[in-house]
Amino acid sequence: MNMLTFTKRLQVPIHQTPIETVYVDENASSHFRPVIDSILIYRMFLAYSLSSVASFLMDIGVYALLIFLLNPWFETVHVIVATILARVVSSLFNYYVNRKVVFKSTAKRSMLKYFGLVAVQMALSAS
């Protein structure tokens, strides 16, 4: 889409070239299964979405519990402590679920990169 937008803006002419699609033996060598393969793709999106919702619920739940336990009168220090601890717990949960369940990753240094992003997001949300 970007390339089409730029060619239009720069008034670069676009030419269509028809191509012939060749299927050998009615595409018998293809192993694509439209329904099953689509389900496998959307399963990943669903798993990631569910892990995000679960992390949100973990964050809100831990925050509410800590506020209740630390001081129900919402003193500033207690709110800050509860916020930081809830974010640490929910981000650890999110990292673990995404790494082990959703993406089944074995990447090295992924935790360092993930928590670098968490720190940036926390700093931006605090400002």
pLDDT in tens, 13-66: 988 999 988 888 877 778 888 899 999 989 999 999 999 999 999 999 999 999
Residue-wise pLDDT for 39-49, tens only, equals: 998 999 999 99
> What is the residue-wise DSSP string for 2-31?
HHHHHHHHTT------------GGGGTT--
Q: Where are the domains of the chain?
A: 20-126
pTM as predicted: 0.66
70 contacts: CB under 8 Å, gap ≥ 6: 78, 81, 82
pLDDT confidence of residue 56: 97
Share of the chain above pLDDT 90, in %: 45
